């Protein structure tokens, strides 16, 4: 039997104040480094896209310090940004995608840099560049988009990369293709998204950026409409300030002036009653969001999956399990797993187990 071919994949994951880089040999991470960027470092840039050269410098340093021969790269994988709504999959970085990201046509976010940085490396090296399952993956059913206002439709913006990766891992554990399974997946991190996965498609999910669902370390989640309208027209805040309260200054930040979930748990354990109430409310809200998707999937749920950084807290997951296990068994896939998820998705394309898609 011939030996399995070894593929080398450079993974790039730009965050708002960091650039994460990893080198994978097939599905094994062999090198990793995270570069942190202060607000002082970034304040001179008028847009996210303008940071591309600045961030590329750190990629060059990573490759130089680790003495990596770039000609071994078979592909560059990057976190996807705010693009138009697309189906789940692995997409080659092309001109249309780069234009939409540079212009921030569909919104501005640090993840927009991923494809731009990957393309720059791929041009130097002569290998393909890809993104996989960006936050704008949209497979929602039409009735899930409807609201009580015809002019307002629900959007699919969620942690598609980690949700899909965790779902595929659990499907492998069950010995079934992901496309044959029904899952409810809760990604719990700075934002919280809970998706109903029906036979390989996320048919309903909360907008984890500025829409609905549980509150989270940074986001407000669903809010009573009337009270939100009153707040908007109170004269205390302008449009930008309200938007920041919803997307960046809500949740734990609003209640505790910190987005640190670990600190919340430590305060609860010290006897802080407000911290205990917020901690238990998070359990309650996430559990509610999970249980409603029992109806989405007509009660046919193979597994509930808890993932993301907050899933590393065993008490938190145990309390959620107690509230939702009447639906089905609960699996825990802790951590963000973004680097591994990107590598595995691109590896599947390189091995011809999955077809790459084109962004048009």
Residue range 234-260, pLDDT digits in tens:
999 999 999 999 988 999 999 999 999
Mean pLDDT of 61-81: 94
Helix (H, G, I), strand (E, B) or coil at 36: strand
Give the pLDDT band of residue 39 (cuts 50, 70, 90). confident
pLDDT score at 108: 87
Q: Given strand 182-188, what is the order of strands in its sheet?
A: 201-205, 192-198, 182-188, 303-308, 330-334
Instruction: Determine the pLDDT at residue 11.
Output: 98
CB contact set of 127 (below 8 Å; sequence gap of 6+): 73, 74, 75, 76
Per DSSP, helices labelled H in the chain are 39-42, 52-65, 95-102, 113-125, 142-145, 160-174, 225-232, 239-247, 251-256, 261-269, 273-296, 314-324, 338-350
Mean pLDDT over the full length of the chain: 95
What single DSSP character describes residue 335? B
Query: Residue 2: its pLDDT value, please?
Result: 47
Nearest to 333 by CA among 188, 205, 174, 180: 188
Q: State the pLDDT at residue 1.
A: 43
Q: Where in the chain is the domain with CATH 3.30.420.40?
A: 8-136+339-358, 142-328
Average pLDDT of span 66-93: 95
- What CATH architecture does domain 142-328 belong to? 2-Layer Sandwich (3.30)
* 182-229 pLDDT tens trace: 999 999 998 999 999 999 999 999 999 887 999 999 999 999 999 999
pLDDT tens string 296-343:
999 999 999 999 999 999 999 999 999 999 999 999 999 988 999 999
pLDDT at 3: 65
Residue among 333, 329, 332 at smallest CA distance from 303: 329
What is the mean predicted confidence (pLDDT) over 97-125? Answer: 95
Task: Tell how strand 192-198 and strand 357-358 pair up.
Answer: unpaired
Q: Is 50 exceeded by the pLDDT of residue 7? A: yes
Specify the pLDDT at position 160. 94
Structure tokens at 195: 């998706």
> What is the fold of 8-136+339-358?
Nucleotidyltransferase; domain 5 (3.30.420)
Residue 184: closest CA among 330, 315, 335, 345:
330
Contacts of 260 (CB under 8 A, 6+ apart): 217, 252
Phi-psi region of 308 (alpha: psi -120 to 50; beta: other; left: phi over 0): left
The pair of three-digit structure tokens given for residue 172, joined into one six-digit string = 């492998």
């Amino acid at each position: 039997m011939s030996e399995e071919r070894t593929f080398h994949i450079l993974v790039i994951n730009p965050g708002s104040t960091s650039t994460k880089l990893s080198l994978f040999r097939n599905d094994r991470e062999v090198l990793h480094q995270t570069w942190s960027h202060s607000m002082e470092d970034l304040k001179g840039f008028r847009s996210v896209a303008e940071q591309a050269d600045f961030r590329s410098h750190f990629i060059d340093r990573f490759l130089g310090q680790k003495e990596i021969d770039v000609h071994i790269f078979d592909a560059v994988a990057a976190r996807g940004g705010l693009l138009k709504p697309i189906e789940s999959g692995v997409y080659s970085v092309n001109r249309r995608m780069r234009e939409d990201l540079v212009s921030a046509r569909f919104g501005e976010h640090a993840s927009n840099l991923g494809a731009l940085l990957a393309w720059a490396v791929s041009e130097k090296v002569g290998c393909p560049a890809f993104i996989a399952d960006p936050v704008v993956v949209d497979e929602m059913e039409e009735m899930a988009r409807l609201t009580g206002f015809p002019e307002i439709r629900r959007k699919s913006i969620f942690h598609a990369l980690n949700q899909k990766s965790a779902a595929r891992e659990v499907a492998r554990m069950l010995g079934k293709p992901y496309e044959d399974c029904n899952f409810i997946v809760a990604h719990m991190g700075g934002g919280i998204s809970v998706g109903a996965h029906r036979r390989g498609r996320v048919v309903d999910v909360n907008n984890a950026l500025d829409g609905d669902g549980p509150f989270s370390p940074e986001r407000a989640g669903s809010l009573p409409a009337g009270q939100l309208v009153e707040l908007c027209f109170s004269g205390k805040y302008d449009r930008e300030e309200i938007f920041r309260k919803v997307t960046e200054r809500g949740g734990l930040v609003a209640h505790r002036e910190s987005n640190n979930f670990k600190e919340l748990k430590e305060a609860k354990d010290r006897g802080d009653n407000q911290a205990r109430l917020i901690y238990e409310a998070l359990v309650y809200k996430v559990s509610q969001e999970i249980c409603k998707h029992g109806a989405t999937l007509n009660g046919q749920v193979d597994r509930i999956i808890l993932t993301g950084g907050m899933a590393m807290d065993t008490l938190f997951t145990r309390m959620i399990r107690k509230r939702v296990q009447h639906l089905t068994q609960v699996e825990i896939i802790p951590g963000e797993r973004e680097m591994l998820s990107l590598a595995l998705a691109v590896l599947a394309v390189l091995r011809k187990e999955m077809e790459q898609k084109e962004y048009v």
